Amino acid sequence: MIVLSVCNHKGGTGKTTTAIHLAAAMGLSGWRTLVVDLDPQGFLTRTMGIDEPAPEASVAALFSPDVKVGRLPVREASGFDLLPSSSTLTKRLRDLNKPTDVLWVREALQRAKLNYDLVLFDTAAAVTVFSLNAIVASQHVLIPVLPEYQAVVGAEQTFQTTTLVRDKLNPRLQSRTFLLTQVDARKRIHRTYQQYLREKYGERVLDNVIRTSTALAESRDGGTTVFDHDSSARGARDYANATDEMLRRLRAMESQEDVRATVTDESIDADDVPLPDEALDS
């Protein structure tokens, strides 16, 4: 089972749209996929037209010591199963203040025997105990990034966070990958930041990008995805291509475990990573 988090500390980068359509495309590719909505605001849950359940039947149950993840009720969405969010997460923030509180989700998954090929976390656009739980539990992180200043800063800060988590808490974190979203080829600033990210992060940036698409905005209506109502739309093609590329990368890493361990254990000192403002000025 592969565990992947979709996160960016900056909002408005297409993070939840990416989580939904990556999960839907994975489902269409035959992957049994569980999406876990770890955003206290529950935007993904609402987007899929699912009402907030009782706390004990929601993602909040992952932070209970006796939880059995495999027994939690999941909701069927568009090509994937969903463990919905709960506003209870906001109330739990005040209690989850110990260093070990970033381990709840990883330990819950380790105890579970889930019949899924992929568990995908959607996270809040902030560094919280919940987003840290997702990264600590994950083998891979996908960082959606709009090629504009604030979103790039957020993406680089997210990358730094994942580096620290990998070095201190989760040596199983194998890859951190950027996905360019809401790309408008007519905007010079978009071309500039695409070039910047590709020059700095190289193969960590997916070749495929998600272009601006009206169909993606419309796909939120009725809890559907763009694949449900217009599979030939630009957004559907872009997410299908990006998902295919992600699948190739994941399969390559899974099938070459020894090589992967050598490559992804490359030493990265967080002190050597430039601050976002300095990076953008370089």
So where are the chain's domains?
2-281
Predicted confidence at residue 269, as pLDDT, reads 44
By the 8 A CB rule, do 6 and 122 touch? yes
* pLDDT of 261 above 90: no
Q: What is the pLDDT of residues 74-119, one digit of tens each?
A: 999 989 999 999 999 998 888 898 999 999 999 999 988 899 999 9
Q: What is the pLDDT of residues 39-55, one digit of tens each?
A: 999 999 999 999 999 99
By the 8 A CB rule, do 234 and 213 touch? yes
The token pair at 87 is 């506003």
Tell me the average pLDDT of the chain. 88
Predicted confidence at residue 94, as pLDDT, reads 86
Tell me the sheet residues that pair with 6. 122, 142
* pLDDT of 281 above 60: no
Among candidate residues 129, 41, 65, the one with its CA nearest the CA of residue 93: 129
Q: What is the pTM of this model?
A: 0.87
* pLDDT of 147 above 90: yes
Q: What is the pLDDT of residues 167-194, one digit of tens each?
A: 999 999 999 999 999 999 999 999 999 9
Question: Using CA of residue 69, residue 117, residue 32, residue 120, what is the dihedral sign?
Answer: positive
Predicted confidence at residue 257, as pLDDT, reads 60
Predicted confidence at residue 280, as pLDDT, reads 44
Give CA 109 to chain center in angstroms. Answer: 17
Confidence of residue 260 (pLDDT cuts 50, 70, 90): very low
The token pair at 19 is 């989580």
Predicted confidence at residue 222, as pLDDT, reads 66
Lowest mean pLDDT among 154-163, 171-180, 201-210, 272-281: 272-281
Tell me the sheet residues that pair with 121. 5, 36
What average pLDDT does this structure show over 194-202?
A: 97
* pLDDT of 270 above 70: no
Kindly state which CATH superfamily the domain 2-281 is placed in: P-loop containing nucleotide triphosphate hydrolases (3.40.50.300)
Q: What is the pLDDT of residues 221-257, one digit of tens each?
A: 567 899 988 889 999 999 999 999 999 998 888 876 6
Beta-sheet strand order (sheet of 140-145): 75-76, 81-83, 33-37, 118-122, 2-6, 140-145, 175-180
